[in-house]
Structure 1
Amino acid sequence: MTDPEWFEPWFQGESWDGWRTVLKGMFAVPMTDDERTFFRTVSERDPPAEPCREMWAIVGRRGGKDSIASFIAAYIAATFLGQDKLRPGERPLVMSLACDRDQAKICLGYTKGYFEQIDLFSGMIERETQTGFELSNGVDIAVATNSFRSVRGRPILAAILDETAFWRDESSANPDVETFNAIKPGLASIPNSLVIGISSPYRRSGLLFSKFRDHFGKASKTLVVKAPTRVLNPTIPQSIIDEAMAEDPAAASAEWMAEFRNDVSAFVSQEAVDACTSPDVLERPRVDGVKYSGFIDPSGGSSDSMTLAIGHSQLSEDKKRSIAVLDAVREIRAPFSPEDAVAEFAALLKSYGIRIARGDRYAAEWCRESFKKAGIEYRPADLSKSEIYRDLLPRLNSGEIDLLDNQRLISQLLGLERRTARGGRDSIDHPPGGKDDLANAAAGVLVYLSSARHQPVGASMGVYSWGGSIKMLTGNTQHQCDGPITEGELAGGFATTIGRY
């Protein structure tokens, strides 16, 4: 970083001193007393006595994370001399992983720039590929998305995990943990291989938080540093951070001060969802005599998916509880024709004997008219999305839900976040960049099936007289008190029964 023939042109000045000290700690390079003092402020530990195999930098935005990660990638790739540790023809990989290829390409672009502008590296790029480039010393540099499927089968010289706190993959409930575990075997065959995690913090869960919890401030072989933006990049004006803190203290504390958010938490636990999921049950056929309900999460067809969930209510095996059962889900991903989506959903609803369905209040009039033409009455839900999720949680936790084994649905449920606003009001929604269309439809039908406030659409509730007796209907269940009966007896007896519903 200080050699003009190497990387010094990109790391000039005192503003990079903090990062130089962090890297001295990572590679066990001797430090001055001042550097040791600074290192303790960002790691809460003494410098490691030997080089680390993992380094996790929890740093505020614009703190220089991508610049440092690309510098390490270029240096390690250019100086690799361990071909004798590999099988003939095997090429080690320096990979940059991010939530999407555009994000990963930021680091790749910086890395490629070093090989194009440093004379000592000139001519090392032999071939460019769709995902990166190949070097003359047998090393490949490439980008990939945060999928555990994309990192298998290669010996890995260095893995850069970019913005791990924000990784999302709807085919995986824990893409950060699963991707990290998939990388480990590729690291094992190359001595001194590295994992470099760089991210601003987010909620207090996931891989980044677990690394912080288990290794920060401890004499571990895994180095974790945590620093606000200006500690590692003092060129960022303090006024920008002050304005952000005034506007939204919770968000700014994470983005600029590198503090994990206390106002955002995981809404549903993995254990609760697993306990409510029927393994290998992808869909349940219609059963004669069972009354089904449907819930629709509509979309205009340009960006969000349009989803449908169908379910029914049944007694538990011990006959003491009512279980809301999810029978079928459908998702039509954008772009699509809304008219075609309505026709498809209407056909599925009718196949389960459903003529009335609830749905999200989005574009309610359009939905009413479109489904009416298809022979389905569409009733907008009187609960908001957050209220539906709120009512779903106790039913999940108490095991009064029976879910399908649909990984996309499960991933969306596990990705839901509870956010507490400054006024103390909670909201429940998908994370930034995430989706919850399937979760919304499934939660809607399950909540309305089991809610104490709402009976399934199409069920009746009322009291009427018939042949000298009083009967009450709640859903499909009839309760009877033979007459003659007084008003007080009616109030006392039936009110108890009504209360259960």
Structure 2
Amino acid sequence: MNLIEAMDDQNLFAAWFKGATWNAWRAILKAAFAIPMSAEEIAFFRSVADRDPPAERVQELWIVAGRRGGKDSIASVIASHAAALFLDSGQLRPGERALAMCLATDRDQAKIVLNYCRAYFTDIPLLQGMVERETAYGFELSNKIDIAVSTSNFRAVRGRPVLCAILDEVAFWRDDNSATPDEEVYRAIKPGLATMPGSMIIGISSPYRKTGLLHKKYKDHYGKPGKVLVIQAPTALLNPTIDPEIIAAALAEDPAAARAEWLAEFRDDISAFVSAEAVDACTSPSVLERSRVQGINYAAFVDPSGGSSDSMTLAIGHSQFSEDKKRSIAVLDAVREIRAPFSPEDAVAEFAALLKSYGIRTVRGDRYAAEWVTEAFKKAGIEYRPADLSKSEIYRDFLPRLNSAEVDLLDNPRLISQLLSLERRTARGGRDSIDHPPGGKDDLANAVAGALVYLTSARHRPAGMQFGTWGTAVTANNPKPLFPEGEKIKPGHYVGWN
């Protein structure tokens, strides 16, 4: 029994897919599974795929669709149909079980599809007897298939044969320890599909910015023949019951966001802030921290937090000449992150101890938190100076330094992930803002960018830093030149401050 027959069978899934409102999805699924189609269905399919229907069942189905279009319902019935009809004919080793899995940015999101699947095996008499055991992340069937959820972490999906993998809302996956969790999970899943005939990957999501796995699949396969099928369809086309006034109101309020969420169009107003190549070129492999060196002046930047939700972070660095002695390089020496929940007083005390170990008595930091944090650092023996640049301005000034390789970063996965996830957003008036994506974090990135920007910014040169006639840098406490003898210093370059 093919998937469409199962969806129309009163003894199986028909109760969940009644009426003509599901006809658009039926046409898409017929094409994906190479089921005969009517002329009307073929015409509709071409309108959302920009290609002829596949001649054989596809191996990957990627659905770029608007919100409330029925994506999760369709993903669940594909997975449940595949799991229920699976017969082991030698694909599995003795004792081995295969997975029908749903992956999302967190388990709560993934459980949406899991709960749909559970309802089928709970409410359909023909399927009820197949459930042998409930587990923490799903349930086990009598035919050696486990239906389970997992997070978008490539380590969680290795080692198991995979019958069906649903990548739910894949355009919005976030992982503090990975810059590209969608691509890493995809690569980790592929070997598990290799030994399971008829296995399939279903990527299903509303679109977001023009980066990541979903956009790559769209760019490489939309409108092109092959075993990878990409669908792009607005909400109203997939779910004709949606109130058009809801979509119209959203378009009037925020056109760019609404066109992505309801019309299934990738956003033009959001772009990646930095490139992976630029970050990689500025990262010292395997260097996790640099110890204090006597004679070097260090500076620091802190991103405070009240301790309830965001992390509190600290970055320490210094400035030095490049190997060719022609440029000043801002070097990152140490980073610290204290994750919520925590005591702000304890966090300040910990940071103050580290600052003093690098000879630092003054720290700059985010200005919005200055009122409470200034007093806390003062009690710990550190002067706190609120930054006169906003976060977006700090990132703006950080970018050219990064792109010109004038910074030297530590090999910190969370820092790298946060830098690569930063987004540049263009508002209606044309003004850019730079920030983390929805649901993301940038506490480490903010502290690091702040430390390195202020290290190399002439307009924020602290009192006591002087320049000789030929640009020889001296400090009030150390009249000895800090640069190599005979070197001329470009205007605005300096070593650091006490």
Of the three residues 322, 334, 339, the one matched with 1:333 is 339
Question: Residues of 2 paired with 1:165 and 1:236: CA distance?
Answer: 23
Of the three residues 78, 81, 85, the one matched with 2:91 is 85
Of the three residues 426, 444, 455, the one matched with 2:450 is 444
CA drift at 1:363 = 2.2
Equivalent positions of 1:197-212 (< 5 A) are 197-212=203-218
Query: Is the CA contact 1:472–1:478 (under 8 Å) kept in the aligned structure 2?
Result: no
Q: Match of 2:460, SS? A: coil
Query: Is the CA contact 1:471–1:478 (under 8 Å) kept in the aligned structure 2?
Result: no
Question: Residues of 1 paired with 2:29 and 2:491: CA distance?
Answer: 68
Q: Partner residue of 2:71?
A: 65
Question: Residues of 2 paired with 1:244 and 1:175: CA distance?
Answer: 30
Q: Partner residue of 2:363?
A: 357
Counterpart residue type for residue 316 of structure 2: I
Q: Are positions 1:375 and 2:375 aligned together?
A: no
Query: Is the CA contact 2:456–2:493 (under 8 Å) kept in the aligned structure 1?
Result: no
Of the three residues 175, 194, 198, the one matched with 1:192 is 198
Question: Residues of 2 paired with 1:323 and 1:470: CA distance?
Answer: 20
Of the three residues 254, 278, 284, the one matched with 1:272 is 278
With the length of structure 1 as denominator, give the TM-score of the two structures. Answer: 0.93
Question: Residues of 1 paired with 2:281 and 2:218: CA distance?
Answer: 29
Query: Is the CA contact 2:457–2:492 (under 8 Å) kept in the aligned structure 1?
Result: no
CA drift at 1:3 = 1.4
Query: Is the CA contact 2:471–2:491 (under 8 Å) kept in the aligned structure 1?
Result: no
Query: Is the CA contact 1:293–1:312 (under 8 Å) kept in the aligned structure 2?
Result: yes
Alpha-carbon deviations, 1:205-245, whole Å to 9, x = none? 00000000000000121000000001101111100000000
Alpha-carbon deviations, 1:178-205, whole Å to 9, x = none? 0000001110111110100100000000
Q: Match of 2:363, SS? A: strand
Query: Once structures 1 and 2 are overlaid, which stretch shifts more, 359-368 or 258-267?
Result: 359-368
Query: Is the CA contact 2:60–2:229 (under 8 Å) kept in the aligned structure 1?
Result: yes
Q: Partner residue of 1:245?
A: 251
Question: Residues of 1 paired with 2:233 and 2:246: CA distance?
Answer: 17
Q: Match of 1:84, SS? A: coil
Question: Residues of 1 paired with 2:89 and 2:284: CA distance?
Answer: 49
Q: Match of 1:433, SS? A: coil
Counterpart residue type for residue 97 of structure 2: R
Counterpart residue type for residue 268 of structure 1: V
CA drift at 1:85 = 1.4
Q: Partner residue of 1:493?
A: none
With the length of structure 2 as denominator, give the TM-score of the two structures. Answer: 0.94
Q: Partner residue of 1:260?
A: 266
Q: Match of 1:107, SS? A: helix
Q: Partner residue of 2:436?
A: 430
Counterpart residue type for residue 84 of structure 1: G
CA drift at 1:362 = 2.5
Q: Are positions 1:320 and 2:326 aligned together?
A: yes
Alpha-carbon deviations, 1:75-109, whole Å to 9, x = none? 00000013421111111110000000000000000
Q: Partner residue of 1:52?
A: 58
Counterpart residue type for residue 376 of structure 1: I
Question: Residues of 1 paired with 2:144 and 2:88: CA distance?
Answer: 10
Question: Residues of 2 paired with 1:497 and 1:109: CA distance?
Answer: 63
Q: Partner residue of 2:164?
A: 158
Of the three residues 11, 18, 21, the one matched with 1:5 is 11
CA drift at 1:451 = 1.7
Equivalent positions of 1:387-426 (< 5 A) are 387-426=393-432
Of the three residues 460, 466, 484, the one matched with 2:465 is 460
Query: Is the CA contact 1:356–1:458 (under 8 Å) kept in the aligned structure 2?
Result: no
Structure 1 unaligned residues grouped into runs of 5+: 464-468, 481-495
Alpha-carbon deviations, 1:103-124, whole Å to 9, x = none? 0000000000001111211211
Q: Match of 1:182, SS? A: helix
CA drift at 1:470 = 11
Question: Residues of 2 paired with 1:14 and 1:432: CA distance?
Answer: 35
Alpha-carbon deviations, 1:20-51, whole Å to 9, x = none? 00000100011111100000000000000000
Alpha-carbon deviations, 1:304-362, whole Å to 9, x = none? 00000000000001110000000000000000000000000000000000001100012
Q: Are positions 1:136 and 2:160 aligned together?
A: no
Question: Residues of 2 paired with 1:100 and 1:500: CA distance?
Answer: 45
Q: CA RMSD in A?
A: 1.8
Q: Partner residue of 1:223?
A: 229
Q: Are positions 1:147 and 2:146 aligned together?
A: no
Equivalent positions of 1:120-131 (< 5 A) are 120-131=126-137
Question: Residues of 2 paired with 1:497 and 1:406: CA distance?
Answer: 31
Question: Residues of 1 paired with 2:490 and 2:10: CA distance?
Answer: 84
Q: Match of 1:112, SS? A: helix
CA drift at 1:452 = 3.3
Alpha-carbon deviations, 1:461-487, whole Å to 9, x = none? 478xxxxx999856689799xxxxxxx
Pair 1:379–1:112, CA change in 2 (3 A): same
Question: Residues of 2 paired with 1:312 and 1:320: CA distance?
Answer: 17
Structure 2 unaligned residues grouped into runs of 5+: 1-6, 482-488
Percent identical among aligned pairs is: 69
Query: Once structures 1 and 2 are overlaid, which stretch shifts more, 248-257 or 1-10?
Result: 1-10
Alpha-carbon deviations, 1:129-154, whole Å to 9, x = none? 00000001111100000000000110
Q: Partner residue of 2:3?
A: none
Question: Residues of 1 paired with 2:41 and 2:386: CA distance?
Answer: 62
Query: Is the CA contact 2:328–2:493 (under 8 Å) kept in the aligned structure 1?
Result: no
Query: Is the CA contact 2:88–2:143 (under 8 Å) kept in the aligned structure 1?
Result: no
Q: Are positions 1:293 and 2:299 aligned together?
A: yes
Counterpart residue type for residue 341 of structure 1: A
Counterpart residue type for residue 324 of structure 2: D
Query: Is the CA contact 2:103–2:151 (under 8 Å) kept in the aligned structure 1?
Result: yes
CA drift at 1:6 = 1.3
Question: Residues of 1 paired with 2:156 and 2:41: CA distance?
Answer: 39
Question: Residues of 2 paired with 1:28 and 1:415: CA distance?
Answer: 38
CA drift at 1:460 = 2.2
Q: Match of 2:116, SS? A: helix
Question: Residues of 2 paired with 1:475 and 1:392: CA distance?
Answer: 25
Q: Are positions 1:24 and 2:30 aligned together?
A: yes
Q: Match of 2:286, SS? A: coil
Q: Match of 2:458, SS? A: coil
Q: Partner residue of 1:483?
A: none
Question: Residues of 2 paired with 1:435 and 1:232: CA distance?
Answer: 33
Counterpart residue type for residue 205 of structure 1: T
Pair 1:317–1:71, CA change in 2 (3 A): same
Pair 1:403–1:216, CA change in 2 (3 A): same
Pair 1:362–1:499, CA change in 2 (3 A): closer
Q: Partner residue of 2:317?
A: 311
